[in-house]
Structure 1
Amino acid sequence: MSTTQSFNIAQTFEVATPAGMTIEGFADATHPQIPVRTPYVFRQGLSSLLAFLRQAGGDALLLTGPTGSGKTSLICQVAARLNWPVQSVACHGRLELSDLIGQFVLIDGSTVFVHGPLAVAMREGHLLILNEIDLMDPAELTGLNDVIEGQPLVITQNGGEIIRPHPKFRLFATGNSAGAGDPSGLYQGIRRQNLALLDRFRVMQVGYLAPDVELGVLESCVPSLPTEVGRLMIVVANEIRRLFLGEGECAAELTVTLSTRTLVRWARLALTFRGAPQPIAYALEQSLTARTDPEQREAIHRIAADVMGDLWQGNTLL
């Protein structure tokens, strides 16, 4: 069993907390399943996530919010700083519970049972992240009910093997909905989930970053980007998000959004193409609007042109 270690919350996550507050993680920083640590600005939801890591109390934790708001990255960057290994699964409509538990496979001519991410996480004390859980068949997910409550995992197909949950095992899920389906129609494949499963989840809303926090992310990831250009890019991003979330005069006026991930890509490409006639416009097209329909592309570029003024035409500060 891996040795645990206490981490000072204020120092580990660079946040303001009362002196002496700690959270337990692992001492071994070499495990291959520990996420790669990247620059990250932690936000308000950190306290809820740490409370869950400290004591799950028979619950799982569902992080819900719009695409690109940083649901998975929040979990992974916390895990990276606590040396906590992660099993991450991208859910889809054909994913079955047996894929999570394990199955027999042919290896070097012999049939061997290979444990899946759920079994490994329970046995070793890893975090299990079910990304986009609301894409899965709710009938398959009901098999998680007892596991979430702390019951052993019984693998009947492997001779009735019993895996008792490690004290450090935690189950996370992310989704663009909170399990009740997607009334907006923006996310294809979203399914209404079983109420019995949802009753076992704590729910944490994750929104887009506040402008000052997001500017800090830009400055960390793209340090050579002029601050004023970064501020204007964030204004454009937030207007696109507002229309995507249906906060304009009409509901859901855009079917694409500009996530923090896309924002960073836009900033990086703007610097890459700084010799082009309109580097900011070209970078936005490469980052986002090349995959939109012509009407939405025109609308997004019009927003950016209005916000950025002369910078949009190529008179840049890059």
Structure 2
Amino acid sequence: MTETALCAPYYRAVGEEAHVFRAAARRGSPILLKGPTGCGKTRFVEAMAHDLGRELITVAGHEDMTSADLVGRFLLKGGETVWVDGPLTRAVRGGAIFYLDEVVEARQDTTVVIHPLADHRRELPVDRLGLTLPAAPGFQLVISYNPGYQSVLKSLKESTRQRFIAIELGFPPADIETEVVGYEAGIDVDTARILVTLAGRIRNLDGSPLREVASTRMLILAGGLVAEGLSLRSAVQAAMVQVLSDDGDLVRALGELVDATLPQT
């Protein structure tokens, strides 16, 4: 779980996403973020929470998550049983933004708990306490997933999807991505541009067997290694090539693409 930082998170808007988010927030409407891994979904939510002056509570969805992990449970403390709110309940009580990242990784019988919060009711049933909590003013429900990655068995149910306002995010245009990578990694613009060019070529590989492509997050990690004194080639090898695949042939193919993109030294 994370909370908003005191300083404004760095985010460069590409389209109308910030305007849509603010409008939805004014109405209390839940938001669904769609986009590839590492394109900036989490950073976008962090930036919007800061912009709106609201606490942000983030939870990563996973297959072992239960509704109690979100809502809360009774725990034994000091010889007595006490109720402890889960992150979702804390957000509902406190009027925070609750961000459930990679929602489809959680079991559907778990995520159904968010349904009453995602429609006109804006309430959270807490069955173990025998009560229903109305969402405090300012509460905002945000979920995200990567529609190009999950299998059919992990798709988002229509009964869930239709409750949300959707914002689709992707990798930014090259000039904006160069600016982001340079700023976040602390490297010069020419080095950032080379990394972005390489990422573009990896993303556009015909018939690519890669499950994931080079993300903006990955470029920032590579740039960070350069900022720490590694050569650009070593940084790319460690933060991109070796991360993208374990297949020897594919790693070699990526290496050839790196050779064709990076300046010769």
TM-score, structure 1 as length reference: 0.75
Aligned equivalent of 1:156, options 115, 127, 148: 127
One-letter amino acid of the structure 1 residue matched with residue 11 of structure 2: Y
**TM-superposed deviation, 1:100:** 1.0
2:190 maps to a residue whose letter is E
Separation in structure 2 between the aligned mates of residue 38 and residue 174 of structure 1, nearest angstrom? 19
Q: Which residue in 2 is equivalent to 1:261?
A: 217
Q: Larger Cα Rg: Structure 1 or Structure 2?
A: 1
Residue 68 of structure 1 contacts residue 261 of structure 1 at CA under 8 Å; is this kept in 2? yes
Counterpart Cα distance in 1 of 2:58 and 2:169: 19
> Cα distance, 1:259 vs. partner?
1.4
| SS in structure 2 of the partner of residue 257 of structure 1 | coil
> Which 5+ residue runs of structure 2 have no aligned equivalent?
none
The amino acid across from 2:78 in the alignment is D
1:5 corresponds to: none
Query: In the alignment, which residue of structure 1 is the partner of 2:178?
Result: 215
| Residue 14 of structure 2 corresponds to residue 43 of structure 1 | yes
- Whichever residue aligns with residue 309 of structure 1, its letter is P
1:299 Cα deviation from its structure 2 partner: 1.8
Residue in structure 2 matching 1:102, options 46, 55, 72: 72
The answer to whether the Cα contact below 8 Å between 2:9 and 2:43 also exists between their aligned partners in 1 is no
The count of residues paired between Structure 1 and Structure 2 equals 259
Q: Which stretches of structure 1, 4 residues or more, deviate above 4 A after TM superposition?
A: 186-190
Distance verdict in 2 for CA 1:295–1:194, change over 3 Å: same
C-alpha deviation, 1:108, in angstroms: 2.0
> Residue 265 and residue 189 in structure 1: after superposition, are their counterparts in 2 closer, same or farther (change >3 A)?
farther
**Distance in 1 of aligned mates of 2:155 and 2:201:** 29
Residue identity matched to 1:295: D
RMSD of the alignment, in Å? 2.1
On the 8 A contact 1:62/1:174 being kept in 2, the answer is yes
* Residues in 2 aligned to 1:189 and 1:283: alpha-carbon distance in whole angstroms: 35
Distance 1:169 1:266 in 2: 36
2:204 to 226, 242, 255: 242
Give the superposition deviation at 1:65. 0.9
Q: Which amino acid aligns with 1:63?
A: L
2:169 is matched with which residue?
A: 206
% of aligned pairs identical?
23
Q: Choose the corresponding residue for 1:300, options 249, 254, 258.
A: 254
Query: Separation in 2 of the partners of 1:150 and 1:253?
Result: 43
**Which runs of no fewer than 5 residues in structure 1 stay unpaired?**
1-31
Tell me the CA shift for residue 204 of structure 1. Answer: 1.3
- Aligned mates of 2:71, 2:104 — CA distance in 1: 19
Q: CA deviation at 1:153?
A: 2.1
**Is the Cα contact below 8 Å between 1:240 and 1:254 reproduced in 2?**
no
- For 1:87-144, what per-residue CA distance to the aligned partner results, in whole angstroms no more than 9, with x for missing partners? 1111111212222111101122221111111111111100011100011222332232
Distance 1:40 1:195, change over 3 A: closer
1:231 counterpart residue number: 193
Measure how far apart 1:262 and its partner are.
Answer: 1.3
Displacement of 1:38 after TM fit?
3.1
Check if 1:289 corresponds to 2:241: yes
Change in 2 beyond 3 A, CA 1:190/1:302: farther
Distance 1:262 1:129 in 2: 22
CA–CA separation in structure 1 for the residues paired with 2:178 and 2:195:
9
Taking the aligned partners of 1:64 and 1:112, their CA distance within structure 2 comes to: 38
Where 2:262 maps in the other structure, the secondary structure is helix
**Cα deviation digits, residues 161-208 of structure 1 (max 9, x gap):** 33111121110001012xxxx6xxx54796123221111112111100
Q: CA deviation at 1:242?
A: 2.5
Residues in 2 aligned to 1:263 and 1:77: alpha-carbon distance in whole angstroms: 20
8 Å Cα contact 2:71/2:87 also seen in 1 = yes
More helix, by proportion: 2
2 CA distance for matches of 1:241 and 1:262?
13
